Amino acid sequence: MTTFDYAPALESRSIVTIDSSYGHFINGVFVEGKNHFASINPSNEEVLSQISLAGSDDINRAVSAARVAYEATWSKMPGKERGKYLYRIARIMQERAREFAVLETLDNGKPIRESRDVDVPLAAAHFFYHAGWADKLDYVGVGHSPRPHGVAGQIIPWNFPLLMLAWKVAPALAAGNTVVLKPAESTSLTALLFAQVCQQAELPAGVVNIVTGDGSSGALLVNHPGVDKIAFTGSTEVGKAIARAIAPTKKKATLELGGKAANIVFDDAPIDETVEGIVNGIFFNQGHVCCAGSRLLLQENIAEQTIEALKVRMAKIRVGNPLDKNTDLGAINSSEQLGKIQSLSATGDQEGAQRWSPECVLPEKGYWFPPTIFTGVTQAHRIAREEIFGPVLSVLTFRTPAEAIEKANNTPYGLSAGIWSEKGSRILWAAQQLRAGVIWANTFNKFEPASPFGGYKESGWGREGGRHGLAAYLTSDENGDN
């Protein structure tokens, strides 16, 4: 028998320059920060840099800079001119795409294949898309002569650091708001590189400010009286805290929170195609995806066959060095997250579900978890109810379409769902019944700047992307806002 081993195909990291420590980006310049903490490469625990923890002084300076830029420059600039800056940023991101991709992979642990082919191109696409909107705001649908809110405080997660930055910053700027953005504490580096892009694009000082830090810095930003709008992507728990904090204020908010998406497979679905979709749904980005297809609902008459095919496919997933272009599954982003995945998976064992992972050798250093499925899961199991945010799939079965819908909707979340069927009428029927903001049919995890994204129920408030997402950064007299 012939052996056919793949040689490693390492992407070079020489394209990126990482400083030994970083401050904040305020009013167009990098300023000194305090209380530094380490940013770690999760695939080998290498310390990449020291990141500053923003305190109230830093947040005050950033919000003031954003306010001045808003009043003096950005809100007064014609939309067409704002659009030019956004186009310029988008083009620089494309020119520096490899640098962004390598840095994202080093800092986040995701495979270079994904940062290169998904995160960075989509981030640039968001800037291009919103650049086109900047001079057409009358047509967004919030009334005539819509106005920006003012200063947007934006807090983003660690799973798609640059892409979530783009989702937040591009519409805010297109609409005429200025921004104070705080990246997640474990993944600040691409946001700081983006700050350099803002300088390179000669964006007016103070329009984009980036402050680094942890949840305490985020809380300072949320509670700052100079912030007019909050945009947050992260856990439902923190989202609820933000909602409570801003309830007595006039602050607007969009919240993108957790999910526990049902990926429903009907018995007429093509198995091979579906298996690819299941793998993409749960193992894309190590399952660190709020809209991940983490609950697989299989029609019972094809369950066994589908699980067997899924196992064969999972055995081919390559886990390892994220900079290797062959890698499918990279590192878990932090030891804290790894601990969460391990402990929730342990409840799966304790509650009687059957765990399976293919044989795979995990690197010795860094934070790693093998691709895993649990079969024999019921709606009552914690692994069917709680967001694991890792490469762990819970498999359930159903017998009738009605049962599939009932189980799919039996969750406090409602961010996304998937339907696999060859029958169009069944897809349309199921999509109407599902209480989820994004529904994919015969695909999964497809993202596109023109398509609004957001959740039902405890998965969030509002939408991001498309006309609906842009509307969240605008108001008008006709809109009843003041």
Partner 1 sequence: MERKNPCSIFSATVPSVGAICVYNDMVSIARTHLDSIGGSNIPVAAVSTAFPSGRASMAVKLQDTADAIAAGAGEIDMVIDRGAFLSGRYMEVFEEIQEIRALCGEKAHLKVILETGELVTYDSVRKASFLAMLAGADFIKTSTGKISPAATAPVVLVMLEAVRDFYTLTGTRIGVKPAGGIRNTKDAIKQLVLVNETAGPEWLTPKLFRIGASALLNDLLMQRMKMRDGYYASPTYVTID
Q: How far is the CB of 449 from partner 1 (least distance, A)?
A: 28
* Collapsed DSSP state (helix, strand, coil) of residue 331: coil
The span of 2-10, 55-63, 87-95, 278-286 binding partner 1 (CB under 8 A) equals 2-10
Candidate list 2, 12, 14, 17; residue touching partner 1; CB under 8 A: 2
Q: Which residue's CB is nearer to partner 1, number 3 or number 12?
A: 3
Q: Which residue's CB is nearer to partner 1, number 316 or number 446?
A: 316
Q: Which residue's CB is nearer to partner 1, number 272 or number 336?
A: 272
Q: Which residue's CB is nearer to partner 1, number 358 or number 401?
A: 358
* Residues in Cβ contact with 160 at an 8 Å cutoff, skipping those fewer than 6 apart: 119, 285
Contact between 380 and partner 1 per CB under 8 A: no
Please tell me what DSSP assigns to residue 117: I
Q: How far is the CB of 216 from partner 1 (least distance, A)?
A: 47
Tokens of 245: 């904090």
Beta-bridge mates of residue 26 = 29
Q: How far is the CB of 298 from partner 1 (least distance, A)?
A: 18
Q: How far is the CB of 31 from partner 1 (least distance, A)?
A: 50
Beta-bridge mates of residue 441 = 419
**Total of residues contacting partner 1 (CB under 8 A):** 6
Report the half-sphere exposure of 249 (CA within 13 A, side-chain side). Answer: 17
Active site residue 387: no
Candidate list 32, 272, 304, 406; residue touching partner 1; CB under 8 A: 272
Q: How far is the CB of 273 from partner 1 (least distance, A)?
A: 9
d(CA 267, CA 422) in angstroms, rounded, equals 9
Q: Which residue's CB is nearer to partner 1, number 1 or number 380?
A: 1
Beta-bridge mates of residue 350 = none
Instruction: Tell me which amino acid residue 218 is.
Output: G
d(CA 448, CA 374) in angstroms, rounded, equals 31
Please, which of residues 207-226 interact with partner 1 by CB under 8 A?
Answer: none
Tokens of 311: 């196992």
Q: How far is the CB of 363 from partner 1 (least distance, A)?
A: 23
Q: How far is the CB of 286 from partner 1 (least distance, A)?
A: 21
Residue 349: which of 315, 319, 372 has the closest Cα?
A: 372
Q: How far is the CB of 2 from partner 1 (least distance, A)?
A: 4
d(CA 219, CA 198) in angstroms, rounded, equals 25
Q: Which residue's CB is nearer to partner 1, number 80 or number 318?
A: 318
Instruction: Tell me which amino acid residue 247 is.
Output: A
Q: Is the dihedral of CA 351, 356, 361, 362 positive or negative?
A: negative
- Exposure string for 107-124, b = 16+ CB within 10 A, e = fewer: bbbbbbbbbbebbbbbbb
Active site residue 104: no
Question: In Å, what is the CA distance from 288 to each residue of 33, 254, 361, 412?
Answer: 29, 20, 21, 19
Q: Which residue's CB is nearer to partner 1, number 46 or number 272?
A: 272
Longest distance between any two alpha carbons in the chain, whole Å: 74
d(CA 461, CA 231) in angstroms, rounded, equals 10
Q: How far is the CB of 314 from partner 1 (least distance, A)?
A: 13
Burial level of 167, CB count in 10 A (0-12/13-18/19+)? buried
Contacts 24+ apart (CB under 8 A), 449-453: 449/122, 449/125, 449/126, 449/128, 449/129, 449/130, 449/170, 450/129, 453/256, 453/291
The span of 1-9, 100-108, 150-158, 210-218 binding partner 1 (CB under 8 A) equals 1-9
d(CA 459, CA 425) in angstroms, rounded, equals 27
Annotated catalytic residue, options 99, 104, 290, 386: 290
d(CA 225, CA 247) in angstroms, rounded, equals 13
Q: Which residue's CB is nearer to partner 1, number 309 or number 439?
A: 309
Candidate list 14, 316, 446, 480; residue touching partner 1; CB under 8 A: 316
Tokens of 215: 């949840």
Element (H, E) at 112: helix 112-114
Contact between 1 and partner 1 per CB under 8 A: yes
Please, which of residues 4-43 interact with partner 1 by CB under 8 A?
Answer: 4
Site string for partner 1, 225-264 (x = CB under 8 A): ----------------------------------------
Please, which of residues 50-109 interact with partner 1 by CB under 8 A?
Answer: none
Q: Which residue's CB is nearer to partner 1, number 29 or number 315?
A: 315
Annotated catalytic residue, options 11, 99, 185, 256: 256
Please, which of residues 135-154 interact with partner 1 by CB under 8 A?
Answer: none
Residue numbers annotated as active site:
256, 290
Site residues (vs partner 1, CB under 8 A): 1-4, 272, 316
